[in-house]
Amino acid sequence: MSEYSIQSFIAKTKQNDAEHDYFELEKPQLLEINLKNQFVWTKAGSMVGYVGNINFQREGMLSGGLGNLLKKTLTGEGAKLMKAEGTGRLYVADSGKKVQVLHLENDSICVNGNDILAHDQTVTNQITMLKSVAGMMSGGLFQVKLTGTGHVAITTHGDPLTLMVTPENPVFTDPNATVAWSGNLSPELKTSVSFRSLIGRGSGEEFQMKFSGNGWVLIQPYEEVYFQQK
């Protein structure tokens, strides 16, 4: 059989039937979720395929109130969650970004809202905000705190790096390159006048997120720019 035959191609790329974990990394950029008469929250528009009997229902990032207000103010209509319920194999991805799977054990993490791919029904989500961030940066910078016990899948451009935060060594990050951080940290938004003077008002480097205390911050080698939808 030729190396480039259709049969060879299928053998190299077909789904592995031996894998049955709830959240399974089928490929570095592709997450398989094995549903057994249950539901999961996924990023709206992330479904690329499924096998079985799965129903989909589109929802807001949070149901009503402050969540919808912040979503409309900061992200237009682009950041929504989709409820997938039933039995089968669901495949989700987001623009070719790498998928990172975490299992929370009665824990909490904060994630940039655009970088959440999926989370278990047992994990709750709550929008958190930096003070005055809406007036200082363009749309897209909002965070969702995920709390509980269960699986969480987040996405990164390229391979991420975790920076450890200690009281002696606070960590400063570019908001557009910051993906997630430990739930006990409360970042501050810091303005750098020197960067603004040196580079110009259009540069994102004039704002940094400052993390103090004990914890960790996950950054990616890419500055993700978000645009509001009219």
**Angle made by CA atoms 21, 99, 169, in degrees to the nearest 5:** 115
For residue 175, tell me if it sits in a domain: yes
pLDDT in tens, 78-116: 357 899 999 999 999 999 999 999 999 999 999 988 899
For residue 81, tell me if it sits in a domain: yes
Both structure tokens of 134 = 């809406």
Domain extent, residue 112, equals 19-219
211/126: higher pLDDT: 211
Q: How many other C-beta atoms are found inside a 10 Å radius of the C-beta of residue 161?
A: 13
Q: Which residues contact 225 (CB under 8 A, 6 or more apart)?
A: 138, 140, 176, 204
Please provide the DSSP assignment of 142-186 as one string: -EEEEEEEEEEEEEESSS-EEEEE-SSS-EEE-GGGEEEEETT--
Both structure tokens of 182 = 């430990």
Please provide the DSSP assignment of 57-97 as one string: EEE-SSSSHHHHHHHHHHHTT---EEEEEEEEEEEE--TTP
Q: What is the mean pLDDT of the chain?
A: 80
pLDDT in tens, 125-178: 887 666 545 444 444 467 889 999 999 999 999 999 999 999 999 999 998 899
* pTM (two decimals): 0.81
Q: The domain spanning residue 103 has which CATH number? A: 3.60.160.10
- For position 150, what pLDDT does the model report? 94
- For position 111, what pLDDT does the model report? 92
For residue 69, tell me if it sits in a domain: yes
Number of folded domains that form the chain: 1
Contact predicate 111/160, CB 8 Å: no
Confidence of residue 73 (pLDDT cuts 50, 70, 90): very low
